[in-house]
């Protein structure tokens, strides 16, 4: 039964990690717009519109046409 001496604290530690992760998420405002978050994941607006991505986009378009 000695195994409990480190298994129980280990389990507690894992639980605490989960708790603090949740508290951090709460503090950083991840729960302030629940409906929006569900929709934002569908949009690609967060991709930087750099020269590079535009170019790859264009080449892809051309390939699609070819």
Partner 1 sequence: MTESLDLSLYAKPMADGTLGMELAVEGIACGGCIGRIEHAVRSVPGVTEARLNFTNRRLHVAWSPGLGEPAAILRALEDGGYHGHPFVPMRAEQQEAAEARRLTRCLAVAGFAAMNIMLLSVSVWSGNVTDITPETRDFFHWASALIALPAAAYAGRPFFTSAWRALKARSLNMDVPISLGVILALGMSLIETANHAEHAYFDSAIMLLFFLLVGRALDHAMRRKTRAAAGNLAALKAENAHRLIGDELVSVPSAALKAGDRVLVKPGERVPADGVVLGGKSDLDESLITGETAHRNVASGATVYAGSMNYSGALTLKVTAAGGAALIDEIEKLLEKAASAKSRAMRLADRASRVYAPLVHLTAALTLAGWLIAGASVHDAIITAIAVLIITCPCALALAIPAVQVVASGALFRANVILSAGGAVERLAEIDTVIFDKTGTLTLPEPRVVNTAVLDQELLRMAARLALSSRHPLAVALSREAAMRVPFDDAVEEPGQGVRARINGIEGRLGSPQFCDVITPSTAQASTVCFRHGDRFAVIAIAQKLRSDAVDVVNSLRGRGLDLCILSGDHAEAVAPVARALAIEHWQGGLKPAEKIARIEALRASGRRVLMVGDGLNDAPALAAAHVSLSPISAADVTQAQADAVFLGEKLKPVLDAVVVARRARGLMTQNLWLAAVYNAIAVPVAIAGAVTPLIAALAMSGSSLLVTLNAIRAKGGTR
Among 1, 47, 65, 66, binds partner 1 (CB under 8 A): 1
Pick between residue 45 and residue 52 the one whose CB is nearest to partner 1: 45
CA distance 45 to 54: 13
Structure tokens at 32: 């302030």
Cα angle 31, 47, 57 (rounded to 5 degrees) comes to 150
CA distance 14 to 16: 5
Pick between residue 39 and residue 66 the one whose CB is nearest to partner 1: 39
* Positions in the binding site for partner 1 (CB under 8 A): 1, 4-5, 8, 11-12, 15-16, 18-19, 22-23, 26, 31-36, 38-40, 42-43, 45
């Amino acid at each position: 039964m000695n195994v409990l001496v480190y298994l129980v604290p280990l389990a507690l530690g894992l639980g605490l990690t989960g708790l603090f992760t949740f508290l951090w998420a709460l503090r950083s405002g991840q729960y302030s717009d629940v409906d929006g978050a569900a929709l934002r994941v569908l949009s690609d607006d967060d991709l930087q519109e750099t020269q590079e991505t535009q170019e790859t986009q264009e080449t892809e378009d051309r390939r699609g046409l070819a």
